[in-house]
Structure 1
Amino acid sequence: MASPTCTAPREGWKPEAAFKKDLEAQGYRIKNFKVTKGNCYEIYGTDKAGKKVEIYFDPVSGKALEQK
């Protein structure tokens, strides 16, 4: 299954550090954070309930695009 593709230019992306801080404020614990080949943010970690998550995000809006 292919991961989502994000097309916004990098100049408009939310900075990685600020993005991670926002997610952590929502209760996520991030074990791995990366930019995918499709130019989206992706995290591996746990949600506030401690459940393992893999989530792709739009790097501009911060909207979750897909969760596995």
Structure 2
Amino acid sequence: MRKLILLSSAAAILVTGAVAAQAGSLGRPCTSAAQSQWLSIEALQSKVEAQGYKVQKAKLKNACGELYALDKNGGRVELFVDPTNGNIVGQL
């Protein structure tokens, strides 16, 4: 019985870690386009701000724009943006 509890606990920890790692990077690229076709980080930020967000930090990671922002209600959000066109493809 003790082994079963230990194995169940270990499995739960591994699954939680995998989900957290995937959520932090959207788990996939936002585009397969060449980097030469991407917009600048400043252009991505402008496109997101035009939609009512207030961007606090922005970076490009794994073929995705990751923007940390405040939504219209002041809530914190992490936005995943297609770097070729500025479209929001995911949000945490």
Alignment TM-score, normalising by the size of structure 1: 0.81
Identity %: 31
Superposition deviation, residue 25 in structure 1: 2.2
Matched residues in 2 for 1:62 and 1:46: separation? Answer: 17
8 A Cα contact 2:45 2:67, kept in partner = no
- For residue 73 of structure 2, give the secondary structure of its aligned residue in structure 1: coil
2:69 to 30, 39, 45: 45
Runs ≥4 residues deviating over 3 A:
none
Higher relative contact order (CA 8 A, sep 6+): 1
Superposed CA RMSD in Å reads 1.4
Query: Which residue is equivalent to 2:83?
Result: 59
Matched residues in 1 for 2:53 and 2:82: separation? Answer: 17
Larger of the two Rg values belongs to structure:
2
Alignment TM-score, normalising by the size of structure 2: 0.63
**Stretches of structure 1 lacking an aligned partner (at least 5 in a row):** none
Matched residues in 2 for 1:42 and 1:15: separation? Answer: 12
Query: Which residue is equivalent to 1:27?
Result: 52
**Stretches of structure 2 lacking an aligned partner (at least 5 in a row):** 1-18
Superposition deviation, residue 24 in structure 1: 1.6
8 A Cα contact 1:26 1:48, kept in partner = no
More strand by share: 1
Q: Is 1:7 paired with 2:42?
A: no
